[in-house]
Amino acid sequence: MENKIIGIERLFNAPVQKVWNALTNKNEMKIWYFDLKEFKAEKGFIFQFTGGPSPETQYLHICEITELIPEKKLAYSWRYDGYNGISYVSFELFPQGNNTLFKLTHSDIGTFPTKNADFAIGNFEEGWNQIIHSSLKNYLEKDNFQYAITLETDAKKFIRDSHNNFISGGQKKWKGPRIN
């Protein structure tokens, strides 16, 4: 069978430690990846999750951590319960100042049954692109989003208007500040 490989690189506006935590902390993973029942960043640890193209078609993924170098590399096997084939996923991290160069490699995809269209390499490419370039990016860089709201008003006028709107709306007991 053909050794089909997906490789994705992305520079995240986040330090290595933050990216590593996103990859290895179960509570963080459920926000951007999959909601795993159990996960431990330990070589030999087996974790599972379900996923598929629709709610009706779901596959049990069974993965085992094969390599772990803290804040540098996480690698695991990836197979499907009840199907032939096994592939390998690795995440590698490279510090770039306060940023992180992230490299994903997913190899041996061609070992999965070719007659099942759900295992086509295009589906893996689409899935990883969505996960890395959207879900993980948005998760890691959400704190870097800056915004400002400027409210310019007279405080007395604001409170008086709020009080008057409250009373005119049929409410009887105003518990806010009273300004004359």
Tell whether 133 and 173 lie within a shared domain. Answer: no
User: Residue 159 falls within a domain, yes or no?
Assistant: yes
Residues 49 and 132 occupy one common structural domain: yes
Half-sphere exposure of 72 (CA within 13 A, CB side): 4
User: Is residue 175 in some structural domain?
Assistant: yes
At 143, which amino acid appears? D
Could you tell me if 58 and 89 lie in one domain? yes
Q: Own/partner pairs for 44-50, CB < 8 Å, 24+ apart?
A: 47/76
pLDDT at 142: 84
Same domain, 123 and 159: no
Any alpha helices (H) in the chain, and if so which ranges?
Answer: 16-24, 26-32, 121-130, 137-141, 155-168
In a domain, 1, yes or no: no
Residues 112 and 171 in one domain: no
Which domain does 171 fall in, by range? 154-180
Cβ burial, residue 136 (10 Å; 0-12/13-18/19+): buried
Which residue is it, tokens 């993924």?
Answer: 61
pLDDT at 150: 43
Pair (30, 97) in one structural domain = yes
Q: What is the pLDDT of residue 134?
A: 94
CATH of the domain at 64: 3.30.530.20
Query: Do 93 and 165 sit in the same domain of this protein?
Result: no
The verdict on 59 and 126 lying in the same domain is: yes
Q: Are 88 and 106 in contact (CB under 8 A)?
A: yes
102/161 same-domain check: no
pLDDT number for residue 176: 53
Please report, in tens digits, the pLDDT of each residue of the chain (180 residues total): 467 899 999 999 999 999 999 999 999 999 999 989 999 999 999 999 999 999 999 999 999 999 999 999 999 999 999 999 999 999 999 999 999 999 999 999 999 999 999 999 999 999 999 999 999 999 999 865 444 334 445 555 656 665 565 555 555 555 555 555
Domain count within the chain: 2
pLDDT at 147: 41
